[in-house]
Structure 1
Amino acid sequence: MNAPLESTLWDILGVIEPQRDDWLFRQRIIQELQDVVRTVPSLRGATVEPFGSFVSNLFTPWGDLDITVMLDYDSYISSAGKKRKLSLLGDVLRALKEKGGWWRLQFIPHAKVPILKFEKGRPAISGDISIDNLGGQMKSKCLFWLNQIDGRFRPLVLLVKEWAKTQNINSPKFGTLNSYSLSLLVLFHFQTCEPAIFPPLQAIYPTNLVDDLTGVRETAEKTIADLFHANIRRFIADRSRPVNRSSLSELFVSFLAKFSTISLKARDFGISPFTGQWEEINNNTRWFPRTFALYVEDPFEQPANTARTVSVRNLDRIQEVIQRTQLTILSPNLTWIDLHQLLVKPELSRVILFRKQNQNGSGQMMHPLPQQQLPQTRKHVHSPSAPVIAARVQSARPENQLRSRINGNHHIHGLSSNPKQGTYSNSAVPEESNPNKWSKQGMQQQQQQQRGDVTNSRQQLWRPRSQQS
């Protein structure tokens, strides 16, 4: 295990882990948008519901907020045509302008899924509004449920996304990877490491999930959830499978190694989390004709390519970033300064250093690097602003408490997927968890517990209230 890297990764997680206020802030945005939607005659009966990283619990305090406006189809699943979606988003845009307090409103009509972009609050959170994106909701829930198999999935996704933002390879707008693709890459890594941590997703859900979203919404969602949980329980209960005991740093290093030649390998192979293996493009008729530089297949909506925005030039750059990160991490002269410059932006690095100086636990105290020596980067919406940093500093906790929160067990079971009910409740906030969860002994105990009945798990997300206990 790379001790400096392991320690640094946990320090980073202590800063990028959402706090209670981050959850409540996003809930307020959702509720305010619901209030606006109620004033739009063409959206009578519609509900405002989150999806994406907020629902999958894979978001950071400065991450985007994905929201969909679900139209009222009298409990049945349906979807407006693209022309109607464009018209309805135009109505939402006019209502938000009239209401005020919503900034940088931008209508993106030509995207595969038309969206309305916005910023809200101080510090600003950016977000996307879509219409009738039930498929996106279900995909988000599935990623959330997968964390029941192994609690290391969520921390590694958060770390990889923060590293990708720092290295400017997490921007589909500029031809690099979107956050969903990055999450799927981590999922694929868990499927293909030795020994494997996750099974191929076809073993969890053997058909195209999006195709099964038909009929009565509550019934369809329950059927999907029941099958997903049953197969997760079956996988966890298999005591014959070898257990992967890699540390977080070992998983991060092996993630970099796996994709260090991604540009070269992408010429002949695509990434399929559904089958859990590299698929030869020439032998995969689902991907014909070949029109993309990189294939990261959506396991819940095959053969959709989640990396369709990645250009050939940027794929080469992504490979270079991975190789450079790998080379630096494996350097015998590695310092914490090198790690911070690789993995987080300077403003986050300063928060980490502040905490290290003020911690009361054991361990060597780290002295801050003079501010003028830190690399300067232009701030953007994904970087935490001064108020966010101040909040992080004020809420600094001993490291043993910080680690106890990074276990993937935060849940938002107050959220409801029933379109006839409310959009969410204020109970949708993370809970404190076992402080020993991520110690070595705690991890072993967790793996043993996870082999038990998943239905007893606290991770209940977006189930209809009729199904909530």
Structure 2
Amino acid sequence: MPVKLLDCAFSSDIIKVITPLHEDWVVRLEIVEDLRRVVESVENFRGATVEPFGSFVSNLFTRWSDLDISIELPNGSHISSAGKKRKQMLLGDLLRALRIKGGCSSLQFISHARVPILKFRSNRQGISCDISIDNLLGQMKSKVLLWISMMDSRFHDMVLLVKEWAKVHKINNSKTGTFNSYSLSLLVIFHFQTCIPAILPPLKDIYPGNIADDLRGVRADAEKLIEETCQNNIKFLSNRPRPINRKPLSELFIEFLEKFSDINSKAELEGICTYNGQWELINNNTRWQPKTFAIFIEDPLEQPVNSARSVSKGQLTKIAEAFKSTHRSLTSVNASRGSLIRELVPPHVAQFMRVSNNQGYSGGYYHQAISPQTPPRHHGTIWPQGPMPSRAMVHRPQHSNRHFVHVNQEASSNNTSRGHVQAPQRQQIWRQKTR
């Protein structure tokens, strides 16, 4: 098994290339600011706030990831819950305003989805954006994933790697019947729960409830209760004696591929439950009846919703084959650095590794001209000095990182010198930006 070669590809190339830099954070906050100005120009949105969520908030985004944004409607201090028809009407208003304002392209209104969405591509680096209305649940899910990532830094790196690998094999697109990014994150959580020794606990040990049911009443009170519950439980878990898993990312990734190589046949009888941290027989779980999906990956924060409901039976076979073929490639004695990179990342990422010997290469990035379809040019240090950009959002998330400590201190400390900014530092830009 070419673990050393894989270690090198992971630590010195892939992670550095796909992990966002300071500028990647800033440009997304500028997009939020752009949208906020448009929203303020629409009468029906008077008093609304514009709040990012998804992988950007959970710190599980790559330099090429989409940006999810929720427009929260005013409802006093209480949680707003607009009906689907009103959401469709409001997004229609926003669509017209964006057409007038400009600054974006590829506008698409998906009005009849379970959650109506307005999609567009910003002229700022061509970043794709998904806009929804009153998606507080999505925001809370993002924060929970952020808190989980702070328990062990390998989780952050594994999610980013899995997303890029899934794009290579075309199994990260719910529109084509494969996984969405949230389901892939849950697969990584499940792998970290079921590896030996376990890295992450069952999610019921972090939040022993259903967040979708608990987001009621006064927003500040509901959010505070959820955050304090998660913080206190993570703090307790971090202080509890337990076996430490010290496996490198490469070994965990290979085990991940092996674990889900038979996911198509396994899914016929069992579903994935990260809430309990185990496979569960579908016939024994009344919440999952009747079985109408190709695979069941329960959303632990919105039970019993199936986060993988978009996956089709035919595509599940393709997904299993992707796990198998990559596992064969990575464990082959004939594997080379080039073959590993082609197996793990798309061409637009691989190109930055192929120029690693060229002048101008620094920290995994090659300085080249910017275009909407390519990463931006970067100069200087990874975390430049100087004043932060202007305020981008009305609402300020109230994270308190000092309550969080790594469950796996030793394993996490091994990942602090790769050259990219660690989670607490990433949160610092968030605080400074939103003040």
Task: Provide TM-score, normalisation by structure 2.
Answer: 0.86
Q: Structure 1 residue 237 and structure 2 residue 239: aligned?
A: yes
Other-structure match for 1:146: 148
Q: Which has the higher contact order (CA 8 A, sep 6+)?
A: 2
What is the number of residues matched between the two proteins?
A: 407
- Aligned to 1:293, the other structure's residue is in SS state coil
Q: Structure 1 residue 285 and structure 2 residue 257: aligned?
A: no
Q: Residues 362-389 of structure 1: CA distance to partner in whole angstroms, max 9, x if unpaired?
A: xxxxxxxxxxxxxxxxxxxxxx985675
CA contact (8 A) 2:67 2:130 kept: yes
Distance 2:96 2:62 in 1: 30
Deviation at 1:347, TM superposition (A): 2.8
Other-structure match for 1:174: 176
Distance verdict in 2 for CA 1:226–1:122, change over 3 Å: closer
* Counterpart amino acid of residue 414 in structure 2: M
* Counterpart amino acid of residue 254 in structure 1: E
2:185 to 183, 186, 199: 183
Other-structure match for 1:70: 72
CA contact (8 A) 2:260 2:320 kept: yes
Other-structure match for 1:373: none
RMSD: 3.2
Other-structure match for 2:414: 443
Other-structure match for 1:251: 252
Distance 2:155 2:380 in 1: 24
Distance 1:222 1:463 in 2: 18
CA contact (8 A) 1:348 1:389 kept: no
Q: Which runs of 5+ in 2 are unaligned?
A: 363-368, 400-407, 418-423
Distance 1:168 1:445 in 2: 31
* Counterpart amino acid of residue 336 in structure 2: T
Q: Residues 252-285 of structure 1: CA distance to partner in whole angstroms, max 9, x if unpaired?
A: 0010011010001000010011010001000011
* Counterpart amino acid of residue 77 in structure 1: I
Distance verdict in 2 for CA 1:82–1:445, change over 3 Å: closer
Q: Structure 1 residue 297 and structure 2 residue 298: aligned?
A: yes
Q: Structure 1 residue 137 and structure 2 residue 109: aligned?
A: no
Distance 1:80 1:422 in 2: 20
Deviation at 1:75, TM superposition (A): 1.4
CA contact (8 A) 2:245 2:411 kept: no
Distance 1:462 1:111 in 2: 34
Deviates most, 347-356 or 262-271? 347-356
* Counterpart amino acid of residue 344 in structure 1: V
Other-structure match for 1:30: 32
* Counterpart amino acid of residue 173 in structure 2: S
Distance verdict in 2 for CA 1:438–1:16, change over 3 Å: farther
1:14 to 9, 13, 16: 16
CA contact (8 A) 2:168 2:345 kept: yes
Deviation at 1:390, TM superposition (A): 6.4
Distance 2:431 2:343 in 1: 42
Q: Structure 1 residue 56 and structure 2 residue 63: aligned?
A: no
Distance 1:423 1:322 in 2: 41
Distance 1:297 1:440 in 2: 28
Distance verdict in 2 for CA 1:415–1:145, change over 3 Å: farther
Residues 91-130 of structure 1 correspond to what in structure 2 (within 5 A)?
A: 91-130=93-132
* Counterpart amino acid of residue 80 in structure 2: S
Deviation at 1:56, TM superposition (A): 0.2
CA contact (8 A) 2:297 2:306 kept: yes
* Counterpart amino acid of residue 21 in structure 1: E
Distance 2:416 2:45 in 1: 49
Q: Which runs of 5+ in 1 are unaligned?
A: 362-383, 406-411, 429-436, 447-456
Other-structure match for 1:338: 339
Other-structure match for 1:352: 353
Other-structure match for 1:364: none
Segments ≥4 residues shifted beyond 6 Å: 437-441, 461-465
CA contact (8 A) 2:257 2:327 kept: yes
Distance 1:342 1:291 in 2: 32
Residues 277-426 of structure 1 correspond to what in structure 2 (within 5 A)?
A: 277-357=278-358, 389=374, 391=376, 394-395=378-379, 422-423=394-395
Deviation at 1:78, TM superposition (A): 2.4
Distance verdict in 2 for CA 1:278–1:395, change over 3 Å: farther
Deviation at 1:209, TM superposition (A): 1.0
Other-structure match for 1:431: none
